[in-house]
Amino acid sequence: MHQPQRNSNRLATRRDTLRGALAAGAALPILSLHRATATPADMRAAIANVIGDVKLNVGRVKIEIPPLVENGNTVPCTVSVESPMTTEDYVKAIHVFNEKNPQPNVISARLGPRTGRASIATRIRLTDSQTVVAIGEMADGSFWSDSVSVIITLGACLENLI
Amino acid sequence: MASALINVPPKAKRGEIIAIKTLISHQMETGFRHSETGVPIPRDIVTHFVASYNGEEIFSAQLFPAIAANPFITFYTIATVSGTIEFKWTGDNGFVATEQAKIIVE
C-alpha cells in the first residue's frame, strides 16, 4: 500500500524539478539578453542627456571606423570636427555613442581653444554590428553629428555571458 | 602597477599643433561579463583622463566600459612654451596613475 504512494510522490517531485529547470533554462537567456544590450532608444536618451533640447545638426563632424571589423574588442575610432579652434569659435567637447553595447556611452572628451585641432582617436569595444554616433559640441552651444555603421564579425563583452 | 606609454614630440616650434598619444595598461573590466560559474565580474575601468600643460588643463575625457582594454587616446594641443605635460588617469577601486613628458618649444 505504501509503496506505490511513495513512488507517485517521487514522480511528482521529479516532474516539478524538471519543470522548474526548464522554466529557469528558458528564462535565463532572455534575462541576460535584456541586460546585455542597449537599444537605439537608450542611445537617443543618452544623447538627449548631453545635448538637452538643442537641435542636433548633421555635418562638420567626421567619425572614422573601419566598415568591417573582425574583432569587436579593439576597434580603432577617430573623430574629427571642423573648427577654426580660435578663442571664440572652438569645439568644447566630442561625445561618442553606440546603440547596441550594454551602455550607450563610449567616451566624452573635453577640448578647448588650446587643443588646436579638434580630433581624437581611441580604441573602442563594439558588441555587435551597429551604428556609432559622434557628436561635436561647439562653443556657441550648437551640436553637430556624424554616424557610421560598422559590421562586427566577433563581438566584444559577451564572450563569457552564456 | 599600471604602466603608461606617452608619445609627445620632444621639440616643437612655438604655435605648432602637436599630436599626443597616450596609452595606459588597464584591463578595463566592463562589469557586464560573468565568470565561468555565472558570477558577475564587477566593473573595474579607468573613468577619467586629464592632460595638463604646465599645470593648465588642456584635455580631459570621461571613459566608459566601451573603451577597449589598455585605453589609447590621441589628441592634439598647441605647443606654447617649454615645460612639462602631465597625464593623470583615475578609475574604479581607487586607481590612479600619472605620467609626464617634457617638451622644448623654440
* B36 shares contact with chain A (CB less than 8 Å): yes
Q: Is there a single domain that holds both residue A110 and residue A72?
A: yes
What is the structure's pLDDT at A23?
Answer: 57
pLDDT of residue A130 exceeding 80:
yes
Identity of the residue in B33, B59, B65 whose CB atom sits nearest the CB atom of A115: B59
Contacts of B82 (CB under 8 A, 6+ apart): B102, B103, B104, B105
Whether residue A35 and residue B32 make contact (CB cut-off 8 A), yes or no, is: yes
A25 vs A36, A63, B39, CA distance in Å? 17, 41, 16
pLDDT of residue B102 exceeding 90:
yes
Identity of the residue in B30, B53, B66 whose CB atom sits nearest the CB atom of A98: B66
Whether residue B75 and residue A161 make contact (CB cut-off 8 A), yes or no, is: no
CB neighbours of residue A48 within 10 Å? 12
What topology does CATH give the domain B4-105?
Immunoglobulin-like (2.60.40)
Say which CATH number the domain at A111 has: 2.60.40.2470
Q: Is there a single domain that holds both residue A134 and residue A149?
A: yes
Mean pLDDT confidence for A120-146: 91
What is the structure's pLDDT at A110?
Answer: 94
Domain segments of chain B: what residues?
A: 4-105
Mean pLDDT of chain B: 91
* B52 shares contact with chain A (CB less than 8 Å): no
CB neighbours of residue A13 within 10 Å? 10
ipTM value for the complex:
0.89
User: Whole domain around residue A32: which residue ranges?
Assistant: 1-36
Classify the phi-psi angles of A65: left when phi > 0, otherwise alpha if psi is within -120 to 50, otherwise beta. beta
pLDDT of residue A32 exceeding 50:
no
Q: How many domains does chain A have?
A: 2
What is the structure's pLDDT at A22?
Answer: 53
A161 lies in a domain? no
Is the full-model pTM beyond 0.90? no
What is the structure's pLDDT at B38?
Answer: 84
pLDDT of residue B65 exceeding 70:
yes
Mean pLDDT confidence for A151-161: 68
Summarised one tens digit per residue, pLDDT across range B41-58 is: 899 999 999 999 999 999
Residue A22 backbone phi and psi in degrees, to 5: -60, -45
Which of 101-160 (A) contact B at CB < 8 A?
A: 101-103, 105-112, 114-126, 156-160
> CA-CA distance, A123 to B1, in Å (whole number)?
22
Chain B residue numbers touching A157 (CB-CB < 8 A): 30, 32-33, 65
What is the structure's pLDDT at A52?
Answer: 84
